[in-house]
Amino acid sequence: MSKENLHRLIYVAGDLISTSIAVLLFNVFRYHHIPESFEVRSLGEYLSYDPVMLEQLIVPVAMLGIYWTTGYYNEVFLKSRLEELGSTVFSALIGSVVFFFVALIDDLTPDRYESYLSILVLVGLMFGCVYPVRVVITSVITGQIRRGAWRRNTLVVGTTQKAVSMSERITGSGRDMGMNVVGFVSTQSDGSGISDTVGGLPVFGLDDLPEVCVGFNVESFVVIPHQHGLKATVELINRLLPYGRAVLMAPDLYSVLTAQKRISGIVGEPLVDMAHANIKESTKNVKRLIDIVFSGVALAVLSPLMLCLGVLVKLDSPGPVIYKQERIGRHKRPFMLYKFRSMNSDAESDGIPLLSSVSDSRVTRLGHFLRKYRLDELPQFWNVFKGDMSLVGPRPERAYYIEQITRRTPYYTLVQQVRPGLTSLGMVKYGYASNLEGMLERLRYDLLYLENVSILMDLKIMIYTVKTVFTGKGI
């Protein structure tokens, strides 16, 4: 088990135990202050009463679900203390409200003071028991980071005095950021050999990075502005993005490059990650929860329609009902995408990938109808349910086209930091792309989506998609 998963398990265990204690203490409070509809002689009898024991078992587990939804377990190292406090308060409030309306509504008495008091006590116990345990665990992990027990190997991109100063600030005493600078990267096109050093650390060339990243287990780059100006800096960042590592830079440079004012930081020297979508951890988890629930319901409700469509596809033309194709998903992982076959089975018999168009002769008679109303994509609800895809996200592409796109626009790598979607902003605003230029045009909308990811944005895209389906504007 990795250190990250081990510490995540510690957080989960701490939350489970502390929440169980909070529920137990609240039940003690209920016994003494809230009249019950049943009579018991002692506290022990009350705590062993079946409904109370059931609450004692279910509520802590349900609270773990709420904690997960807030994104608390996503980032194990370098937690923000302020965000930890806010997350715990929010979880205590939401959990207490749910607990109250599900299990405590019968405890209401004519005396409103007692009812309000019970709610406040529940919130206080949920927070008061959980937060101190979290603080202790976070403090222990932070101490381990400062002692060097966990660090991310990092390359500073640049060899100027600014680069040396940045390295010193990153690893300076009292400002440990959980990063271990293992070397510098020369921004000269010809690079520098490993024998050259800056500040006692080796200097690598840009062309050496594929081997260096693997050999030194590099997890992040820290970019220093290029001496030849903004354009050269942008080109440098684009060259780093395909490596799939964090690309960190100073907030002021980030603002210039993206025209955004959002600033996120890491403990110590504030840096912004240019290589990952700026999505709240809670948003990621809520999106995944919605994906599971919605796709599961859709598979159940639409199964009769999908069965009928499968029969029609089989009768319409020879070949398999379901068309399977490898696509590239989140973190560049390949997966099998499923669709109802809408083309002839020999559409790519020569093995050369071809994009489809409105008048594509390879599309079957039924296929035109399926594609017009996007019914061919219904099997992708299974991809969503499994976690290969999300309901909303950039459309997944084949490796063949990704290679061409990345050569033209290296920042395409950014869209691979999130799950690809059944629908997307690019699909509703641009539609299907019939050539590489169209795919690049649609990419603009996908990048815009990444800058504005929210549950509300997803809802708007889904509503627009439903409208597209029912109006037959799927092509």
Domain count, the chain: 3
pLDDT tens for 414-448 read 788 889 999 998 888 877 777 888 888 888 888 88
Percent of the chain at pLDDT exceeding 70: 84
CA-wise closest residue to 311 among 345, 341, 338, 337: 341
**Boundary-marking domain end, from 273, 304, 331:** 273
Euclidean distance between CA atoms 65 and 177, whole angstroms? 30
**Boundary-marking domain end, from 146, 176, 199:** 146
Let me know whether 259 and 408 are in one domain: no
Work out the number of other CB atoms within 10 angstroms of the CB of residue 299: 16
Q: Assign residue 226 the CATH number of its domain.
A: 3.40.50.720
Q: Which structural domain range is residue 127 located in?
A: 3-146
Instruction: Name the phi and psi angles at 312, rounded to 5.
Output: -65, -40
On the CB side of 306, how many CA atoms lie within 13 Å of its CA?
17
Query: Do residues 449 and 426 lie in contact, with contact meaning Cβ atoms separated by under 8 Å?
Result: yes
pLDDT: which is higher, 335 or 161: 335
Average the pLDDT over 355-370 and give the result: 77
Let me know whether 255 and 313 are in one domain: no
Average the pLDDT over 172-186 and give the result: 75
Residues 6+ apart with CB under 8 A from 398: 325, 326, 327, 328, 353
pLDDT: which is higher, 118 or 290: 290
| pLDDT value at 256 more than 70 | no
Let me know whether 322 and 438 are in one domain: yes
pLDDT tens for 271-315 read 777 767 778 889 999 999 999 999 999 999 999 999 999 999 999
Let me know whether 161 and 266 are in one domain: yes
Average the pLDDT over 52-78 and give the result: 91
Let me know whether 100 and 160 are in one domain: no
**Boundary-marking domain end, from 239, 273, 307:** 273
Return the structure tokens found at 352: 């050369």
Among 2-11, 147-156, 273-282, the range scoring the smallest mean pLDDT is: 273-282
Let me know whether 251 and 176 are in one domain: yes
Looking only at the bridges linking them, the beta strands covering 421-423 and 390-392 are: parallel
Among 37-46, 210-219, 358-367, 419-428, the range scoring the smallest mean pLDDT is: 37-46
Euclidean distance between CA atoms 318 and 164, whole angstroms? 66
Residue 367: which pLDDT band, with cuts at 50, 70 and 90?
Answer: confident
Of all helices (H) and strands (E), which one includes residue 74? none
Let me know whether 260 and 349 are in one domain: no
Average the pLDDT over 198-205 and give the result: 87
| pLDDT value at 356 more than 50 | yes
On the CB side of 12, how many CA atoms lie within 13 Å of its CA?
16
Amino acid at site 268: G
Let me know whether 306 and 423 are in one domain: yes
Let me know whether 165 and 301 are in one domain: no
Return the pLDDT at 401: 87
| pLDDT value at 400 more than 90 | no
Let me know whether 115 and 195 are in one domain: no
Long-range contacts of 203-208 (CB under 8 A, 24+ apart): 203/159, 204/155, 206/239
Average the pLDDT over 348-359 and give the result: 62
Let me know whether 348 and 257 are in one domain: no
Return the pLDDT at 104: 64
| pLDDT value at 264 more than 50 | no
CA of residue 434 relative to chain centroid, distance: 29
pLDDT: which is higher, 441 or 171: 441
Residue 331: which pLDDT band, with cuts at 50, 70 and 90?
Answer: confident
Let me know whether 191 and 64 are in one domain: no
